[in-house]
Amino acid sequence: MAATHTSAIFTTHALFELARMPAEDVESIRAEILAAIESEGGIFNKNAVGKFHLLDSLLKEIGRFHSLFAVGSSRLVLKEAVISNGTVLPPGSVVALAPKPLHNNPEFYPDAHVFDPFRFAKRRTGESVTKDVKQSFTALSNDYIVFGVGKHGCPGRFL
Ligand code: HEM
């Protein structure tokens, strides 16, 4: 239930975006993939996949730009809670995440209205592995919620 429509919608967006991308950008992605496989002795393994930074960035940008759902990750409030802006959530109410406004917030994403396939690859500075890993498609954060966030963040995202 959780794996099929999400992966299908995502792959469809990816095919459309690849089809309308300039040929040289597609070529850069392909060249990086070939170089990564080459660096692993010609073997398409997990290490090689970890070096597909441009493809990873493209997929992450697809998630940011299109967002998969208008509202999701809904939760039923069982016990009264007060969130950081003072809003009281009474028991019985339902709360959910809205990815589109967050993923279009220029505070987090300058030129948010522009589809930039290499937005996240450019954020990898190479200074620190930990910092770079935070730019990857599978990293959960409060400003990228395509896979949800927290304890119930999508466990299938690595697949
Ligand atoms: C691009 C593909 C995918 C996207 C965008 C996606 C997105 C999500 C989102 C938004 C949630 C809800 C998180 C929440 O409630 O806070 C979720 C949950 C989940 N996903 Fe994915 N998903 C994807 C692929 C997959 C795959 C391939 C699998 C399994 C192989 C999977 C398994 C699950 C499971 C089991 C949950 C429930 C986790 C829980 O409630 O603790 N997902 N996913």
For residue 58, give the nearest of 2, 18, 109 by alpha carbon: 18
The total number of structural domains in the chain stands at 1
What confidence score (pLDDT) does residue 68 get?
82
42 CA from centroid of ligand 1 (Å)? 32
Residue labelled with tokens 């073997």:
43
Check pocket membership of 95 for ligand 1, CB cut-off 6 A.
no
Q: What is the pLDDT along the chain (159 residues), one digit of tens a residue?
A: 889 999 999 999 999 999 999 999 999 999 999 999 999 999 999 999 999 999 999 999 999 999 888 898 999 999 999 999 999 999 999 999 999 999 999 999 999 999 999 999 999 988 888 888 899 999 999 999 999 999 999 999 998
Q: Establish if 71 belongs to a structural domain.
A: yes
For residue 21, CA distances in Å to 9, 25, 28, 70, 104 come to 18, 7, 11, 25, 21
What confidence score (pLDDT) does residue 104 get?
96
Q: Establish if 25 belongs to a structural domain.
A: yes
Check pocket membership of 73 for ligand 1, CB cut-off 6 A.
yes
Q: What is the CATH number of the domain that holds 79?
A: 1.10.630.10
Q: Establish if 158 belongs to a structural domain.
A: no
What confidence score (pLDDT) does residue 141 get?
94
Check pocket membership of 155 for ligand 1, CB cut-off 6 A.
yes
What confidence score (pLDDT) does residue 125 get?
87
Check pocket membership of 1 for ligand 1, CB cut-off 6 A.
no
Looking at ligand 1, which residue's alpha carbon is closest to its atom 20? 154
What confidence score (pLDDT) does residue 131 get?
82
What confidence score (pLDDT) does residue 92 get?
98
Q: Can you tell me which atom of ligand 1 is nearest the CA of 151?
A: 41
CA angle, 79 then 85 then 86, to 5° = 50
Domain that holds residue 70: 4-152
> Which of 1, 4, 6, 95 should be mutated for ligand 1, with most atoms under 8 A from CB?
6
Q: Establish if 157 belongs to a structural domain.
A: no
Output the pTM of the full model.
Answer: 0.93
